[in-house]
Amino acid sequence: MQITGKIVHVSLSGGFWGIKGDNGQSYCPVNEIPKKFQKEGLRIKAVISPADVMGIFMWGENVKVNHINSL
């Protein structure tokens, strides 16, 4: 699935980088967002897929980020 949105830093459990989609959905990547995209508020376009795993963070939908670009 392709989404657009912005990068957000979530301060739960020591902190992590997530994606707030333009559709209002929050996405919690199970694979780390590359360092060059770890900027609060950065507008991105990403290709994601559902991640059928239990995460430690109680925030958003767990997804795998397959591809990401800044807008």
CATH number, domain containing residue 24: 2.40.50
Task: Report pLDDT for 12.
Answer: 80
Q: 37: domain range?
A: 2-70
**pTM (whole model) above 0.85:** yes
Count of H-run helices and E-run strands, the chain: 0, 5
Task: Measure the CA–CA gap between 29 and 33, rounded to whole angstroms.
Answer: 7
Q: Which residues contact 58 (CB under 8 A, 6 or more apart)?
A: 12
pLDDT (tens digit per residue) in 17-46: 999 999 999 999 999 999 999 999 999 999
Domain count, the chain: 1
